[in-house]
Amino acid sequence: WKVAFVGLLALLNCWHLFPHRIPLRRVNIGFKALNPPRGWEKLAEPPRLAAPSPGNKSLFVPLSDYMNVQYYGEIGLGTPPQNFSVVFDTGSSNLWVPSVRCHFFSLPCWLHHRFNPKASSSFRSNGTKFAIQYGTGRLAGILSEDKLTIGGITGATVTFGEALWEPSLVFTFAHFDGILGLGFPVLAVGGVRPPLDRLVDRGLLDKPVFSFYLNRNPEAADGGELVLGGSDPAHYIPPLTFVPVTIPAFWQIHMERVQVGTGLTLCARGCAAILDTGTSLITGPTEEIRALQKAIGAVPLLMGKYYIECSKIPTLPPVSFLLGGVWFNLTAQDYVIQITRSGFSVCLSGFMALDVPPPSGPFWILGDVFLGSYVAVFDRGDRKSGAQVGLARARPRGTRQ
């Protein structure tokens, strides 16, 4: 269910203790959304692998942001490290990157960085075939093993996928090279041990906890930060509200209710929701999302996207989510995706219909539109305590204390 950016890109084309940090940087491309990804890189220096903070076992990883619909950061694979931009995805559990051995007709491979096993002295062959199906893309390849460099630390050998066949349009136009899954082990294709678990196994992280701060300011150069091994209180306004994970596969929690202004109640008897950094929008069942779009005055466009008049943003109702007994409110400034280029603005609804069938669904997906307003702390827990997610309002950039 990676309901990400393909439809949005097509639409735009029509409109002409301190933990280890991984910074997320922003790339402003405006309406040149369908230019080849390698051309985009000339507009901004690629993020460097972050250095670890001394005296602790947490990592801070910078993230890049493409138009508020792609957040990604840099990792290294092999010895010496071969660098790749990856989406840190809480909705999956595998790590994969394109391979130099990819199929000749697999266009995404040729437009992105590719892993070369012959250039790594620590590479170990596995050879097991794998295939992954996302909501808007699929790929296939072979599993391999090598050293992972992330947030300035190395030493963990991970099993990752070398993508040999990427037939989906979504990966052709993606600014990232691959995906690093941060979901639970049960989701991992091929029974592979997820990268986060490998870091904890090797003692490179004290605990299986990580948090996301996504910068939604379109004028900012950086896209936010992924913190591995903990969280940074400077990213959010306390307190954190912790909600238990109900099914430890996706980061799934119970949502008590959704309120649109004062006149519309959705998820009235409670429903499931997953927090997914790999999904750009907020999604929900078709009938409920259709009612929500009507309540906020959104007009249907292409591929399930909805248009909103930018001038109406100050008058639109808030959309609120009841989680753990606390209301998490989004204003129209939060849930409307506004793109401005040369004085011309296009505004799109941050909501989209998606029906996930049983047994996995139905559920809502709280993607980047929600996670840009609220910092999420993902805690896998231990034998004594179960997994949980902590949520708090993100602190606006420039007001960190």
b/e sequence 5-22, b meaning 16+ C-beta within 10 Å: bbbbbbbbeeeeebbbbb
Cis peptide before 47 (omega within 30 of 0): no
Helical ranges in 44-187 per DSSP H: 107-110, 169-172
- Dist CA 175 CA 401 (whole Å): 32
Tokens 């670890």, residue?
52
Q: Which helix (H) or strand (E) holds 251?
A: strand 251-260
Nearest partner of 243 among 323, 301, 170, 298, judged by Cα: 323
Q: Count CA atoms closer than 13 A to 60's CA, side-chain side.
A: 19
- Dist CA 334 CA 368 (whole Å): 10
- Dist CA 352 CA 292 (whole Å): 10
The pair phi, psi for residue 117, each rounded to 5°, is -65, -30
Which residues share a beta bridge with 137?
134
Helical ranges in 193-273 per DSSP H: 195-201
Q: Count CA atoms closer than 13 A to 380's CA, side-chain side.
A: 20
Helical ranges in 105-194 per DSSP H: 107-110, 169-172
Which of the residues are catalytic?
A: 89, 276
Tokens 């959704």, residue?
258
